[in-house]
Every structure is written in C-alpha cells, then in structure tokens.
Amino acid sequence: MGDRTRLGLALQAAGLGEFEWDFARNVFIVSERMAAITGIPAGERPALDGAALDEYVHPDDLEAFRERRVADSMSADSFTNTFRNIRPDDGRTIWVRVSGVIERGANGHPITLMGIVQDVTQLRREEEERQNLMAELDHRVKNVLAAVQALAQQTAKRTTSLDSFLTTFGGRLKSMASANELLTAARWRGAAIDHLTAAELGAIAPGQTRWEGPELFLTPRAANALSLALHELATNAVKFGALSVETGHVDVRWTARRNGGFELTWTESGGPTVTPPIRRGFGATLLDQVTPRELNGDIRVEYRPAGVTVRIEAGPQAVAERPDVVPEVTTARVTETVPTSRGPTSLKGARVLIVEDAVLLALELETGLSEAGAQVVGPAYELEEAMALLGQPIDAAVLDANLNGRSVTPVAEVLHQRKIPFVFATGYGETGGAPGGFEAPVIRKPYDVTQVAAAVAELLAER
C-alpha cells in the first residue's frame, strides 16, 4: 500500500476531502472525497485566479470569502476559513471548514495551495444550540434572581424580627429550589404534581400526610407557583393547623379538568379547632393573588372549625406535556430546611470539618456551627486542602459534593473508612440519595445553617 493510498484512507476515515490549486497552470483540482462532501464536481477546472469555486459559496459569505482568499494568497503560509457552501447537486446549504498550506517560490509568489475540506454543519448547529442555551440560562437566572429579590422584599415587609424573616424567607427559597430541581431534572419541560407535593410534604410529619392524583405535569411557571402555594399551606399546617399536633392529617388530592388544567384540594383534619386568621401576612397574599394568576385559575380557602380546606383550580395553560425525561423521586434520606422545634442545637466540644468551595457559604457554616459550640476544622475550599485536614481529630464533617468541578468522594471515602459521620450540603439534585451512594443525610442548597447543625448533632447522637 503506497503513501498516497494510506493518505486517502486516512482522509476518508476522518471525513475530510482534499483539493489543490496549481498557480503555475492556474487550475483547481477537486478530489472525489471533496466532491462527496461539497457536491462540487470532481476533477480539474480553470482556477480563474481563485474564483473557480465562488459560485458555490453562499452569497452572504462570498465577500468575506474573497477578501480572505486574496489576503492568504499574498502573504500567508497556511490558512483556515469557515463558510457556507451551497451544494450544486441538491441545493442544500452546509457549513464547511477549509484549511491548508501554501507553497511559495524564492520570490514569495505562491506555487501550490493544498488543502482539506470538512463538513462542520453539525458542529455549527451544536455551537448555536449552546449559545441559545446560554442565553436561555442567563434569562432564567435573571428571572430567578428577580423573583428571589421580590420574595425577600415582600417577606421583610411583613415580618417583625430578623429571625422570623430568615426562617420564613429560607423556607420559601427552599420551596423555589425544590421546584427548580425537579424542572432541571426534566430539562425544564415540566414538573409532576406528585413530585412537587412529595418535595413539600415528604419530609414533614411522616404518617400524617397523604397525596394522590393522576400523573399531571405543570409548566415551569405553574410548577413554581404551586410549589410556593403548597409550602405556605404546609408551613401554616405545621405552625397552627393539623400538623401542629400528632393526631392531625393533611390530605392532598388532584384531578384533571375536562377543559384542561386541574383542580387540587388540600384538606386538614384532626387538628386544633380552626378560626379565621386576624392578621394577613405575605403568605396569604401569595395564595390569594399570586397563585391564581400564575396558574390562570382560582383559589378558595375555607377556615372550617374541623380543619382548613383549600381548593386550587388551574387553567389549561398551566399543564405541560409529559417530558421525555422524568426524574425518579425516591425516599432518600434528605434533611429539609424546615425549622426544628427542639430548641437550640448544641455541638459543644464537637470537632466538625467543613468542606465547601463557596467562601461565603463556608463562612456562614463556620459561624453557625461555632455558635452551636463546635470546634470547626477548616474550612477546606479545595479537595487537596480537605485531604490534608483529615489527619486532625474529627468527630463529624459537612461536605459539599462538588469542589470546583471535582468530586468530594475521596474525602467521604476516608471518613467512611474511619467511621466518622458526615452530612452532604449540596446544590446538586441527585434523586437517588446521597452522592456516591453513601449512607449519609443530604441537605439541599439553599439551606438553613441551623438545620446543618441539627443534622450534625443527630449524627453524633447516633454514634
């Protein structure tokens, strides 16, 4: 097998086609492989001082193509150009990348130009999709930040203390994060009502909550609205309603409406005798004004003595088609950011390692755990820092799952081998439980530092 045959096989395997411009003879030579890619007939043709292929270049790219060709032929030794090629055989437009070298004589004049052609249409599409995704991500991030800002301002206007604000705002923020986690897992095509309900009720009052209904998926806007509504109802039930006592129950049921949309009923029973609230906070405003508008429907809240009943109606615009990817919701051990009623957590004397790459979060954790009486080890912001600290006496650890793009698994493995308990505090939405398959509590960001302290205290109590 000769060198030319080997070269031809290599070009074919790489999806490349070759061509040659002979300046002395002023001819352009198109190979069979280039013809297969571009649709330009193979063979030798007059070069027309380089204009031989101009008719196959997209009109919008032709001027730049000509300018680049002239500039390269005058002084460059190599070249690369990307443009749209209109195939003469079927009229399709494809993107091609042309690269090559120019051989020059002693006087600097070009003798031969040899190059290769590659079809980069798919690469261009992927780049355009990436740019579109980045633009969409930027749009969503700004919308989320604007919503968070509005939520903070509205919550602050209706709370009388900093502690109350932090507790209420933190819970609402967590609700938004749960909905966004489900939407992200489904590539922002929709979130199921049962998943949203499980995210709000699954971690509170085990055995006292129940939900049931057909599989229905909501649009991102409706999912966030329903998640916040369920959060407000659950918070009120824990504070004042059925979930404030062990005998109370909450039953959530939903059905699809004939004309599209859905109807959801929240029913409390077995709790304290209900009386209408005297003071209306932002939660009530959210339910009365925000929820029905975002769901294109209506909401009715009845304060019956036997228990609160809420009926939420949503229009067809709130319902989405079933996504191609539907996340699995498991009963993984997840610590939710719901304030505990057990009083201040004590970690007096406990040596707690903090591994967190976000400096502000690490400082917040350090402050919170120190206030609970812990002796903080670290914080470690990088994997190597964390591994180096493992030689110190440690009673427990708080681990971020991802450290600047690197998994915290090596740290977790060492802690596991030494039987040192740890909790994951992470922004990743793994639906299969703790990262790496470890048997460890998981606290989803955004979290309440007091809950981290409570989770660590619980781990230490189990030892």
Spatial distance between the Cα atoms of 147 and 221, rounded to a whole number of angstroms: 12
Q: List per-residue pLDDT tens for the chain, 463 residues long.
A: 555 566 666 676 677 889 999 988 999 999 999 999 999 999 999 998 888 889 999 999 999 988 888 888 787 788 899 999 999 988 999 999 999 899 998 888 889 999 999 999 998 888 887 877 676 656 556 656 655 665 676 667 667 777 777 766 776 676 566 666 665 665 656 788 888 888 788 767 777 889 899 989 898 888 888 988 888 888 888 888 898 888 999 999 999 998 899 999 999 999 999 888 877 666 777 788 888 888 989 999 999 999 999 999 999 999 988 877 666 654 333 343 333 434 456 888 899 999 988 887 788 888 888 988 989 998 998 899 999 999 899 999 999 888 877 888 899 999 999 999 999 887 655 444 567 678 888 887 767 677 788 889 888 887 6
Q: Is the pTM of this model over 0.85?
A: no
pLDDT reported for residue 426: 76
Spatial distance between the Cα atoms of 311 and 300, rounded to a whole number of angstroms: 5
pLDDT reported for residue 332: 36
pLDDT reported for residue 200: 80
- 305: exposed, middle or buried (C-beta count within 10 Å: 0-12, 13-18, 19+)? exposed
Shortest CA distance to 383 belongs to which of 352, 361, 414, 360?
Answer: 414
Spatial distance between the Cα atoms of 323 and 335, rounded to a whole number of angstroms: 28
- For the chain, which domains are there? 17-119 (3.30.450.20), 130-329 (3.30.565.10), 351-462 (3.40.50.2300)
- Phi, psi torsion values for 122, nearest 5 degrees: -65, -40
pLDDT reported for residue 410: 92
